Amino acid sequence: MTDYFPSVDVAIDNSVERPHLAPVVRRAEQSDVPWVLGQLRQFAAAYGTRRSLFGSETHAEALVGTLIEDQFVAIAERDGQPVGLIAGVLQPHPFNPDILVASELWWWVTPPARGTRAGHELLDAFEGWALEHEADLINFTLEADSPVRDRTLERRGYRLFERQFLREVS
């Protein structure tokens, strides 16, 4: 059986025989917003800045809802329970508007579900969405200490292009 993301026509093939508890990816729905926000709070807590990444719960809720409706958010589930998410936006490159970039915003798998292929399945969904929307580039930003994700992306043909430095000024 093939699941389709209805608003973007991205097919996700869940027909492959999978072992018990293997992740299945689906398009996020508005009812997923509270779970997504909970996961993003965990990520933000680990970010290590004095000010929260989410200044307002209302703003964060609206952002996630908009991304679900207008861009891309997918959820990985095991036994019907969410265990990971990926979100991104499609936008023209700032230097050349003829180049369309699919930029990942969040790629998160809950700690107990790491190593279950949930991250790989989410990456497959994101790449499928980018391909369906004829993106020219896919951009990922990863935490500095993510060697597993670095290797995962490198095996898929991604290359390190830039590094990002962060400094708090207030």
User: Six-digit token pair at 163?
Assistant: 């590094």
Q: Is residue 47 part of a domain?
A: yes
Question: Is the confidence at residue 6, as pLDDT, over 50?
Answer: no
Q: Is residue 94 part of a domain?
A: yes
Q: Is residue 166 part of a domain?
A: no
Number of domains in the chain: 1
- Reduced 3-state DSSP string for the chain: CEEEECCCCEEEECCCCCCCCCCEEEECCHHHHHHHHHHHHHHHHHHCCCCCCCCCHHHHHHHHHHHHHHCEEEEEEECCEEEEEEEEEEEECCCCCCCEEEEEEEEEECHHHCCCCHHHHHHHHHHHHHHHCCCCEEECCCCCCCHHHHHHHHHCCCCCCCCCCCCCCC
Q: Is residue 160 part of a domain?
A: no
Instruction: Write out the residue range of the structural domain in which residue 61 sits.
Output: 2-155
Q: Is residue 26 part of a domain?
A: yes
pLDDT band with cut points at 50, 70 and 90 for residue 144: confident
Q: Residue 143 belongs to a domain with what CATH number?
A: 3.40.630.30
pTM for the full model?
0.82
pLDDT digits (tens, 9 = 90+) for 17-37: 444 557 999 999 999 999 999
Q: Is residue 165 part of a domain?
A: no
Rama region for 99: left / alpha / beta (φ>0; ψ in -120 to 50; rest): beta
Q: Is residue 170 part of a domain?
A: no
pLDDT digits (tens, 9 = 90+) for 62-91: 999 999 999 999 999 999 999 999 999 999
Pairwise CA distance, residues 42 & 52, whole Å: 11
Question: Is the confidence at residue 42, as pLDDT, over 50?
Answer: yes
Q: Is residue 110 part of a domain?
A: yes
